[in-house]
């Protein structure tokens, strides 16, 4: 069971020099982009885990301590009306 050897299956087809350079550039760019995606996803997962842990810790502390009562905010003082003499002076 030996396959017949021809020039088509023995040698790889040669590519043009420009096509080869383009492939090298494309492969390098894709490798860089893939590495950035992997690092971004790892960072996102790490931050998500940290946030989940922080929220769980806050939930534990809020359950342990009773909720504090908050006072209602005081209403701002009403503006003082201008004296009647000042109004009369403006009209004259």
Q: Which residue has the tokens 């009403």?
A: 78
Report CA torsion sign: 4, 6, 8, 13: positive
pLDDT tens digits, 6-61: 877 787 777 788 878 889 999 999 999 999 999 999 999 999 999 999 999 998 88
Residue 66: its pLDDT value, please? 62
Domain ranges within the chain, ordered by starting residue: 32-57
State the average pLDDT over residues 61-83. 70
Distance of CA 50 to CAs 37, 43, 60, Å? 20, 11, 15
Q: What is the DSSP string of 19-49?
A: HHHHHHHHHHHHHHHHHHHHHHHHHHHHHHH
């Amino acid at each position: 069971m030996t396959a017949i050897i021809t020039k088509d299956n023995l040698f790889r087809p040669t590519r043009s020099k420009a096509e080869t350079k383009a492939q090298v550039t494309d492969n390098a760019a894709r490798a860089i982009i893939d590495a950035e995606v992997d690092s971004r996803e790892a960072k996102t997962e790490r931050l998500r885990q940290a946030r989940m842990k922080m929220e769980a810790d806050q939930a534990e502390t809020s359950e342990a301590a009773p909720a504090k009562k908050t006072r209602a905010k005081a209403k701002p003082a009403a503006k003082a009306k201008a004296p009647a003499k000042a109004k009369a002076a403006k009209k004259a």
